[in-house]
Structure 1
Amino acid sequence: MIHAVGMIVEYNPFHNGHLWHLNEAKKKSGAAFSIGVMSGNFLQRGEPAMLDKWSRAAIAVKAGVDLIIELPVVFAVRSAQYFATGGVQLLNRLGIVSHLCFGAETPEIKKLSVVANALNQENTINAMLEKMKTGQTYAASIAAALSANCEIDAQLLQSPNNLLAIEYIRAIGAYAPQLIPLSIKRQTADYHDVAITSSIASATAVRTAIIENGTIVPNSAAWQTVPLNCAQQINELIHAGKGPVTLDSFNNIILAKMRTMDLNQLALLPDVTEGLHNKISSAALKATTAHELLFNVKSKRYTMTRLQRIIIHALLGTTKQKLTEFDRLGPLYARVLAFNDNGRMLLKEIHKKAAIPVITKTSHHLTSKQHHTNQLTPLQNMLAYDVTATDIFTLGFPNCAWRSGGLDYRFSPLYLPN
């Protein structure tokens, strides 16, 4: 009987830490196969991916992941709770995943589970909501509520990886109790580190080096942090003008969007509350770049990450009402991006056991003509946001020759033999 270990990833870009995670996931789970549920062209922190989703998926499969499936953008560009829930539900609905493996600064599942269980208690939830009313962020409110009500060390929640790990465990308990959570200790680099001090660095540090140098310089510190074939493929894409894509690539698009949305439209965006739409509208008229807009709106309550997500939601056209409905339904399809020979075997089993359709050709489920109508099914509506995300993302390519739209209708999953 085939079973696989699942990972919820971004691979922005794939580096040695990801390779270590993959190998540890297989070792700890005993699974012969691996599946990565990967964010597409826009990521959890409200940023564009450095490289397009097919290229990142292909690099990961060449590095050893058997199958990459896209996490729909309506779950990918979300806070930890919704990002984790979407990923766990998608893995569970494939019907063949036995374990979920994730990295954390605190790798003890028991400790993380205690926090996850405490977060489901009514007194903790109420305390957290009260803290959020004072202007504290979600993470800070959780930490304060736990410290006050459960005598749990709030330091556990100081790391984005620990917070995600706890949300994975909560989602497993709520939606996929048969999934076995596996936590591995994050190696060497901290999530936010921008310096490279060893062969395992944070994705932030690798991206910073690539953007500063315009490439991964051979034999440089950054070169040592990425598997050789991955580094070569990244450089080929950069030299072709297909990266790196950054938020700065969309400065004019973002400002145009924010300046032309009326206050009612801004108020409907996810995460916009308490008059923030007025502040965004005013700042958009004065700002000359996206980062200037974000800096002028940022506050204790509205972190840079939250504001970045709001901007991406504006570009995509998502609203609070739409996301509430998608959260109720969960992921409605498994969109295949890349696979190897093992992945082909996995897909045969998934086709037999999955609770949702497997998408290998977008037009079989949504045509370009249907995309712009108001008669979409929930699945088509969710998929339409992925198509829109790609159409916007390509506008960020440095080489304008790659900026045409409709790629989701033209690209098939990439088969990469072992």
Structure 2
Amino acid sequence: MRAVGIVAEYNPFHNGHRYHVEETRRLYGDAPIVAAMSGNFMQRGEPALFDKWTRAEMAVRGGVDLVLELPVAFAVRSAQFFAAGAVRFLYSLGVVDWLSFGAEHPELGALKLLAAAVDDETVRAVMRSRLDAGETYAAALGKSLAAASGLPPAMVASPNNILAVEYLRAIEKFAPYMVPCPVARQGAHYHEKVVAGAIASATAIRGALLGGRTLEAFGAMPPSARELAERCMAEGRGPVSWGGLTVVLLAALRRAAVAELAELPDVTEGLEYKMKAAGAAGGLEGSLAVLKSKRYSLTRLQRVLVHALLMTDRRTVAGWDECGPLYARVLAFSGRGRELLRAMAKTAAVPVVTKTTHFLHSRDLDGRELTPLQAMLALDALATDVYSLGMPNPEWRRGGRDFRQSPLYVACRPVGS
């Protein structure tokens, strides 16, 4: 069985995502679709609006056959490491022949040209000079590639195109037999903050939900995703935001020693001292004001704060970058997804995790030395435990859900209208 892979966050699943799934289905017909989805924290360094199981069910009801969790060690990273982790993850399943991804400018030839230019030493030198001048990685990359390729800066710098370039680089390095399939993004711009139609940006939809404008947000989501979001909100399981985790974050920053903060991923050039000072602020905005500078984008700072919540060690993460994801954890699946799981039992190069306790038990976390796989899985479990503290209903803040929650089998037909 040969499948199409998608890398996603589905935060939340909306009509633009449904279009991408439907277009992928149109292009590849009967091939099942498997999504490598971020868990409870996003690549931009934000908690997911709704938990990973809810979002995985949204995806399956929206047409995806199988949703697997991209470990947090790769999900909350810059575009380069996020894309590399996701491509290696999908390739390790042994069934994914194609990678379907959205791009503002989906011309594959131009994207490949940009991907090749990233590793050109002249481009790298220009990038380093821009970084030394205080530009963010995304800005330095975009401007350097635009100058080298002659392509429009808007094409190079758009967020999904940057990810597309990194997917192509990762395919070239880690998955040479995987075929890239860019699909044109539809509707609103990635950063658009207003829901102005049936297809809106995830940024606008999240803003509407967090601002209490639920009808506005729901107009840009499929009915099935809307139903699950309503249920989640009624039960007090969401929406989750940094606002609900601010006290936990401040406690983590105040408790940590400067030396510990210095060992977090992406912490360089004395940022640990600013982080310690940021912990003395009275809220998230105050903390970010202390941390803000030309060199560090808001996205990068938010990722650093997630790592502070989880106390992720940079050396451990660097080791995982060498080996790639070590397991495939199942979140949700359809009937076709069940068939795909059977096929993966024979082809996957990594264990398929349907029950956490088969690989890691809560008692293993009590000072025992963990294998690399167990340590990666333990970080995912910790991410869920910390994330749950941001849920509005205290009943849902209990720890250990990763050890109790089974994958969701969605037996009904996908709802897309």
Q: Same fold (TM over 0.5)?
A: yes
Counterpart in the other structure of 1:366: 360
Note the 1:3-402 alignment, pairs <5 A.
3-213=2-212, 216-217=214-215, 221-285=216-280, 287-402=281-396
Task: Name the CA distance, whole Å, in 1 between partners of 2:218 and 2:263.
Answer: 44
Code of the residue aligned with 1:398 in structure 2: it is P
Q: Is the 8 A contact 1:75 1:83 kept in 2?
A: yes
TM-score scaled by length of structure 2: 0.96
Distance 1:187 1:149, change over 3 A: closer
Task: Name the CA distance, whole Å, in 2 between partners of 1:86 and 1:254.
Answer: 26
SS of the residue 1:48 aligns to:
coil
RMSD: 1.3
1:210 Cα deviation from its structure 2 partner: 1.1
1:222 Cα deviation from its structure 2 partner: 2.5
1:223 Cα deviation from its structure 2 partner: 2.4
Q: How big is each residue's C-alpha offset from its partner over 1:5-36, in whole Å with a ceiling of 9 and x where there is no partner?
A: 11000011101100000011122234531011
1:346 Cα deviation from its structure 2 partner: 0.3
1:224 Cα deviation from its structure 2 partner: 2.0
Code of the residue aligned with 1:70 in structure 2: it is E
Q: Is the 8 A contact 2:143 2:157 kept in 1?
A: no
> Once the two structures are aligned, what percentage of the paired residues are identical?
47
Task: Name the CA distance, whole Å, in 1 between partners of 2:246 and 2:294.
Answer: 24
Q: How big is each residue's C-alpha offset from its partner over 1:53-102, in whole Å with a ceiling of 9 and x where there is no partner?
A: 11111111112110000000000000100111111001100011111111
Structure 2 runs not aligned, ≥5 long: none
Code of the residue aligned with 2:307 in structure 1: it is H
Q: How big is each residue's C-alpha offset from its partner over 1:348-401, in whole Å with a ceiling of 9 and x where there is no partner?
A: 001110110100000110111112334111111111100000010111110001
Q: How big is each residue's C-alpha offset from its partner over 1:263-310, in whole Å with a ceiling of 9 and x where there is no partner?
A: 11111111111111112212321x111222012211111111111000
Task: Name the CA distance, whole Å, in 1 between partners of 2:379 and 2:366.
Answer: 11
Greater mean deviation of Cα atoms: 335-344 or 371-380: 371-380
SS of the residue 1:301 aligns to:
coil
1:115 Cα deviation from its structure 2 partner: 0.3
Code of the residue aligned with 1:393 in structure 2: it is Y
Code of the residue aligned with 1:284 in structure 2: it is G
TM-score scaled by length of structure 1: 0.96
Q: Is the 8 A contact 2:328 2:350 kept in 1?
A: yes
Task: Name the CA distance, whole Å, in 2 between partners of 1:85 and 1:54.
Answer: 24
Q: How big is each residue's C-alpha offset from its partner over 1:182-201, in whole Å with a ceiling of 9 and x where there is no partner?
A: 11111111111111111000
Task: Name the CA distance, whole Å, in 1 between partners of 2:100 and 2:288.
Answer: 34
Greater mean deviation of Cα atoms: 145-154 or 52-61: 145-154
Q: Is the 8 A contact 2:264 2:314 kept in 1?
A: yes
Q: Is the 8 A contact 1:69 1:334 kept in 2?
A: yes
Q: Is the 8 A contact 1:139 1:157 kept in 2?
A: no
1:236 Cα deviation from its structure 2 partner: 1.1
SS of the residue 1:6 aligns to:
strand
1:157 Cα deviation from its structure 2 partner: 2.5
SS of the residue 2:100 aligns to:
strand
Code of the residue aligned with 2:340 in structure 1: it is L
Code of the residue aligned with 1:196 in structure 2: it is V
Task: Name the CA distance, whole Å, in 2 between partners of 1:30 and 1:304.
Answer: 40
SS of the residue 1:225 aligns to:
coil
Task: Name the CA distance, whole Å, in 1 between partners of 2:142 and 2:245.
Answer: 35
Code of the residue aligned with 1:326 in structure 2: it is W
Q: How big is each residue's C-alpha offset from its partner over 1:238-258, in whole Å with a ceiling of 9 and x where there is no partner?
A: 011000000111111111111
Q: Is the 8 A contact 1:132 1:141 kept in 2?
A: yes
Code of the residue aligned with 1:86 in structure 2: it is G
1:147 Cα deviation from its structure 2 partner: 3.9
Q: Is the 8 A contact 1:29 1:99 kept in 2?
A: no
Code of the residue aligned with 2:283 in structure 1: it is T
Q: Is the 8 A contact 2:145 2:156 kept in 1?
A: no
Code of the residue aligned with 1:277 in structure 2: it is E
Greater mean deviation of Cα atoms: 139-148 or 368-377: 139-148
Q: Is the 8 A contact 1:361 1:412 kept in 2?
A: yes
1:151 Cα deviation from its structure 2 partner: 3.7
Code of the residue aligned with 2:233 in structure 1: it is I
Q: Is the 8 A contact 1:59 1:230 kept in 2?
A: yes
SS of the residue 2:279 aligns to:
helix
SS of the residue 1:213 aligns to:
coil
Q: How big is each residue's C-alpha offset from its partner over 1:199-233, in whole Å with a ceiling of 9 and x where there is no partner?
A: 0001111111111116x33xxx4222111121111
Q: Is the 8 A contact 1:28 1:182 kept in 2?
A: no
Distance 1:30 1:125, change over 3 A: farther
Task: Name the CA distance, whole Å, in 2 between partners of 1:58 and 1:223.
Answer: 17
1:152 Cα deviation from its structure 2 partner: 4.2
SS of the residue 2:35 aligns to:
strand
Task: Name the CA distance, whole Å, in 2 between partners of 1:180 and 1:243.
Answer: 37
